[in-house]
């Protein structure tokens, strides 16, 4: 009796989806998508609503660091993740051998520089302690920003993977303190200034537009991406997920909610 009822419910759901012109996807359970807490999670909550209307059920799984969402995707605990940019993904694939594919671009979070001790970078004293992310791609990203602000000079060819060892001019003799990106907001009390990824800044109650003393230009290589396993990249649910994310409703939410501190990347 129960199996007949389940079959009838499935058939009715299928008929309803077809009647609404929505593609019905065969799902035994929701698609699990990993995000970092904060803006990525907020945006995915909206995507979840759009996806539900399109016949795709999503379960959102939040993480507090950058390492675990890729490990969980590789192990099969997640179907996709949405939290990282391409340079970070490339470094992870090189280091860990992940078989991942980029499904779509999502949003750009221009990285900011913050301080509780100064109001502008020119006020940094000689020997100031400056916090930067300890992962190679975001650390290099910050060093490029500091170079653009005229505080340091990197050796030729250092590029996106620059490290403090690539600094060839440092007139203020800044001392770089490398920390996990998620820990950087808490470093502001102990350091003279710190670079903080926008998702972690917002989660810590910082307003990038109001509180950052300098911001990265938005038109760089650091657009965030939706990532799946290579074996899944042609699955129908991936196309449906991308369609749900690349939706005018989601773009409007991003523009309204984050007021330019986060930018739609599609």
Domain ranges of the chain: 23-109+221-264, 112-215
pLDDT value, residue 79: 98
The answer to whether residues 227 and 101 touch, using CB atoms and an 8 Å cutoff, is yes
| Nearest 10 degrees: Cα torsion 250, 251, 257, 263 | 130
Average pLDDT in the 118-139 region? 94
pLDDT at 260: 83
CB 58 within 8 Å of CB 240: no
Q: What is the pLDDT of residue 181?
A: 93
Give me the pLDDT at residue 136, please.
82
Cα–Cα nearest to 188, from 261, 112, 259, 85: 112
Task: Count CB neighbours of 174 within 10 A.
Answer: 22
Q: At what angle do helices 86-96 and 136-148 cross, to 10 degrees?
A: 140
Q: Which residue has the tokens 């930067």?
A: 132
Judge whether residue 137 has pLDDT over 90: no
Fold of 23-109+221-264: D-Maltodextrin-Binding Protein; domain 2 (3.40.190)
> Which pLDDT tens digit goes with each residue over 54-77?
999 999 999 999 999 999 999 999
Residue range 105-112: mean pLDDT, rounded = 93
pLDDT of residue 25: 55
The more confident residue out of 138 and 48 is 48
Q: What is the pLDDT of residues 214-228, one digit of tens each?
A: 998 877 788 999 999
Average pLDDT over the chain reads 90
Tell me the pTM. 0.75
pLDDT recorded at residue 62:
98
Write out the DSSP string of 113-156: EE-SS-SSGGGPPTT-EEEEESSHHHHHHHHHHHHHTTS-EEPT
CB contact set of 244 (below 8 Å; sequence gap of 6+) = 47, 50, 51, 54, 56, 250
d(CA 246, CA 75): 27
Q: Which of 55, 111, 63 is nearest to 83 (CA)?
A: 63
Q: What is the pLDDT of residues 84-93, one digit of tens each?
A: 999 999 999 9
Statement: residue 213 has pLDDT above 80: yes
Q: Tell me how far apart the alpha carbons of residues 37 and 112 are, in angstroms, rounded to a whole number.
A: 18
Q: Using CA atoms, how far apart are residues 217 and 112, in angstroms rounded to an integer? A: 10
Query: Does 23-109+221-264 match 112-215 in CATH topology?
Result: yes
What average pLDDT does range 192-200 have in this prediction? 94
Give 4-37 pLDDT, tens digit per residue: 444 444 444 444 444 444 444 556 899 999 999 9
Both tokens of 51, joined, read: 């996806």
Which pLDDT score is estimated for 13? 45
CATH fit for domain 112-215, picks 3.40.190.10, 3.40.50.620, 3.40.50.11930, 3.30.70.260? 3.40.190.10
């Amino acid at each position: 009796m129960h199996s007949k009822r389940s079959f009838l419910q499935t058939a009715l759901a299928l008929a309803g989806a077809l009647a609404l012109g929505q593609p019905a996807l065969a799902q035994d359970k929701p698609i699990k998508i990993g995000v970092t807490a904060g803006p990525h999670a907020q945006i995915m909550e909206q995507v979840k609503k759009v996806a539900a209307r399109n016949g795709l059920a999503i379960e959102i799984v939040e993480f507090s660091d950058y390492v675990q969402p890729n490990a969980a995707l590789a192990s099969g605990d997640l179907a996709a993740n949405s939290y990282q940019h391409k340079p970070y993904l490339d470094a992870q694939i090189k280091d860990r051998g992940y078989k991942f594919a980029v499904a779509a671009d999502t949003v750009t979070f221009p990285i900011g520089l913050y301080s509780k001790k100064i109001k502008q970078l020119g006020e940094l004293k000689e020997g100031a302690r400056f916090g930067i992310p300890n992962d190679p791609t975001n650390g290099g990203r910050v060093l490029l920003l500091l170079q653009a602000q005229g505080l340091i000079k990197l050796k030729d060819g250092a590029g996106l993977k620059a490290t403090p060892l690539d600094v060839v001019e440092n007139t203020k003799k800044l001392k770089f303190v490398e920390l996990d990106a998620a820990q950087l907001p808490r470093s502001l009390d102990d350091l003279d200034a710190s670079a903080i990824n926008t998702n972690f800044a917002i989660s810590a109650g910082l307003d990038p537009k109001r509180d950052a003393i300098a911001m990265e230009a938005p038109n760089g290589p650091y657009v965030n991406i939706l990532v799946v396993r290579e074996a899944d990249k042609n699955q129908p649910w991936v196309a449906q997920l991308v369609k749900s994310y690349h939706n005018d409703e989601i773009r409007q939410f991003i523009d309204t909610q984050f007021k330019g501190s986060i930018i739609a990347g599609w």
